[in-house]
């Protein structure tokens, strides 16, 4: 695949700085890194963002994630590989990524399940990370950024 243009964030240095601040904020609230990796991978799968799926899986693997779990992220409901907290985060990631799929984008049961496993600060970090992942996806997909990417 040929990119339509240079990644927009790379063309706008202030955007890169802002994205890096979002990344740092989401990753500093105490949510396990593996959970954030899974959330990123699932949202990127839903959005069809090939560089994010590629980089997300590679990053998770580099940080010790098992092949079984990585292979099963798209079917997380039907596998035994994920904790209840991870399942709650994955459900939240799916709902928050698919906002237009239902009238109540994130139903109370999904939110309440996540709130059982994560503090308010951790929930804020997960929601921020889902939003940031969706930002990455929406920069990469329309401009046809290829996988793999050198995120430098």
pLDDT in tens, 66-115: 999 999 999 999 999 999 999 999 999 999 999 999 999 999 999 999 99
- pLDDT band, residue 1 (cuts 50/70/90): confident
Q: Please, what is the average pLDDT of the chain?
A: 95
Query: What is the Cβ-side half-sphere exposure of residue 109, based on CA atoms within 13 angstroms?
Result: 0
Going along the chain from its start, the domains and CATH numbers come out as 12-140 (1.20.1290.10)
Sign of CA pseudo-dihedral 64, 16, 131, 8 = negative
pLDDT of residue 148: 83
The pTM of the full predicted model, rounded to 2 decimals, is 0.94
Q: pLDDT digit string (tens) for 16-47?
A: 999 999 999 999 999 999 999 999 999 999 99
Inter-residue contact 64 to 118 (CB < 8 Å): no
């Amino acid at each position: 695949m040929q990119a339509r243009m240079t990644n927009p964030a790379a063309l706008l240095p202030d955007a890169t700085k802002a994205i890096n601040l979002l990344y740092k904020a989401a990753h500093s609230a105490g949510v396990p890194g593996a959970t954030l990796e899974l959330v990123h991978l699932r949202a990127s799968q839903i959005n069809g963002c090939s560089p994010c799926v590629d980089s997300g899986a590679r990053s998770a693997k580099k940080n010790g994630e098992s092949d079984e779990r990585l292979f099963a992220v798209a079917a997380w409901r039907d596998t035994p590989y994920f904790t209840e907290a991870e399942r709650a985060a994955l459900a939240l990631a799916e709902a928050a990524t698919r906002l237009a799929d239902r009238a109540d984008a994130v139903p109370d049961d999904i939110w309440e399940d996540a709130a059982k496993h994560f503090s308010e600060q951790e929930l804020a970090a997960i929601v921020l990370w889902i939003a940031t992942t969706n930002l990455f996806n929406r920069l990469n997909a329309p401009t046809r950024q290829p996988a793999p990417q050198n995120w430098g």
